Amino acid sequence: MTGFVLRRLGAALLVLLALSAVVYALFYLAPGDPARLACGERCNPQQIAQVREQLGLNDSVPTQYLRFLQGVLAGRDYSGGAGLVLHCDAPCLGFSYQNDRQVTELLLERLPATFSLALGALVIWLVIGVGTGLLSAVRRGGLTERLLTVVTLAATGTPVFILGLLLLMAVCAYLRWLPFPTYVPFGDDPEQWAWNLLLPWVTLGFFESAKYARLTRSSTLETLAEDHIRTFRAYGVGERALVTRHAVRGAVAPVIALSAVDFGTMIGGAVLTESLFGIPGLGKTLIDGVRVVDLPVVVGVVLTIGTAVVIAGAVADLLYAVADRRVALA
C-alpha cells in the first residue's frame, strides 16, 4: 500500500512538473514580447528594455524557468528599478500586468467563489444522482430507469451553457421566481449566497447527476450480482437490507473516486458556468486574463487548475485503492 501511494504521488509530481514546463515555455516563448505586454501600450523602447531587465527576460530560457520554479517553491525578489526590491512570497506566480498585484493573491481571492460553486454541485450530484441511480437499480425497468435513459441521452454532450441559458431565461426572465444571480460571498450573507448560487448549482449538478445515476446504477447492479450477495440472499437476508447494507458499500467506491476527480476538475473547469452566471471565480479570472493577455494571471490560473486536477486524480486513485485493495496490488 505504501509503495502504491508513493508511486502514485511521484507520478502526480512528474505530471505537474511537465505541466509547468510546457505552460511556461508556451506562454513566454510565444510570439508577442512579454516585456511589451507587461509595460503596456504607451511604452517607449527604453521603458520596454527596462522592464525586460527587471523581469529577467534577457537571461537564457532554462534560467528563467528555474527562477520561475524557485519563485513558486520559495518566493523571489524582483528589482523594481531605482534600487527598489519587490518581494513575492512563496507560491510566487509573478505580478499581474494589469494592476501589479501578486497573482497568488488574486487567485486566493477568487477561490472561495469557485469552491462555493463546486461544493453545491457536488451535493446535488451526490444526492440526486446517487439517489436516482440506487432507485433505478432496485426497481429495474421502472419509470426512473426510462427517465434516466432520456435524461442521459439529452445530457450526453449537450453544452452546459445551453441548460444554464434556458434556466436563466425561464426562471429569471419569464417566471421571475429569482432575480438574475449576482454572487454574494458566504461571509456577507449566507442566505443570499445560497439563493444566488442556486441556478448555477442546478445547471452544473444536473448533467453530472445523470452521469452519477448511471454509475451508481451499474455498480450497484454489479455488486448485487456478486457471490457474497447471493450467499446473503440464500441465508434469508431481506432485499431491502441487501441493498442498503451491502450493495451500497460496493457501489460507493467508484462514486467517491469519480467525485474526487470531478470536484477537482470543477475547481478549475467550471469556466462556462462561472462565465454565464457572472461568478467571480478562477474560470472567470482566466477568461478576463486571456482577454487582456495578462500572461502571469493566465499561467497562474492554468497551473492552479492543473494542480487541482492532478491532485484530485491522485486522491481518487488512493481513495479507490482504500476502498478496493485489489487496485493497490495490481
Report if residue 178 touches other proteins, rule: CB under 8 A. no
Residue 79's CB is within 10 A of a number of other CB atoms, namely: 13
The residue written with cell numbers 486574463 in the block is 289
Report if residue 211 touches other proteins, rule: CB under 8 A. yes
Residue type at 121? A
Report if residue 256 touches other proteins, rule: CB under 8 A. no
Report if residue 47 touches other proteins, rule: CB under 8 A. no
Shortest Cβ 71–other proteins spacing (Å): 19
The residue within the footprint of other proteins, chosen from 76, 110, 214, 246 (CB under 8 A), is 214
Q: Show contacts with other proteins in window 120-139 (CB under 8 A).
A: 136
Residue 299 burial (C-beta neighbours within 10 Å; 0-12, 13-18, 19+): buried
Shortest Cβ 79–other proteins spacing (Å): 26
Report if residue 156 touches other proteins, rule: CB under 8 A. yes
The residue within the footprint of other proteins, chosen from 145, 195, 252, 324 (CB under 8 A), is 145
Report if residue 19 touches other proteins, rule: CB under 8 A. yes
Pair 247, 223: CB distance under 8 Å: yes
Q: Work out the end-to-end distance of the chain between its first and last CA atoms, rounded to an integer number of angstroms.
A: 11
Helices (H), the chain: 2-29, 34-39, 45-55, 61-74, 103-124, 130-138, 143-155, 160-167, 190-224, 227-234, 239-241, 248-269, 271-277, 282-291, 295-323, 325-329
Choose between 61 and 165: whose C-beta lies nearer to other proteins: 165
Report if residue 219 touches other proteins, rule: CB under 8 A. yes
The DSSP code sequence of 49-99 is HHHHHHHTTTS-HHHHHHHHHHHHHH-EEEEEETTEEEEE-SS---B-TTT
Choose between 177 and 189: whose C-beta lies nearer to other proteins: 177
309 Cβ contact partners less than 8 Å away, ≥ 6 residues apart: 261, 264, 265, 268, 269
The residue within the footprint of other proteins, chosen from 49, 86, 287, 322 (CB under 8 A), is 287
Shortest Cβ 161–other proteins spacing (Å): 6
Report if residue 261 touches other proteins, rule: CB under 8 A. yes
Beta bridge partners of 81: 84
Contact footprint for other proteins (CB under 8 A) = 14-15, 18-19, 23, 26-27, 30-32, 136, 145, 148-149, 152-154, 156-159, 161-162, 165-166, 168-169, 172-174, 211, 213-215, 217-219, 221-222, 257-258, 261-262, 265, 268-269, 271-272, 275-276, 283, 286-287, 289-291, 293, 295, 298-299, 301-302, 305-306, 309-310, 313, 316-317, 320
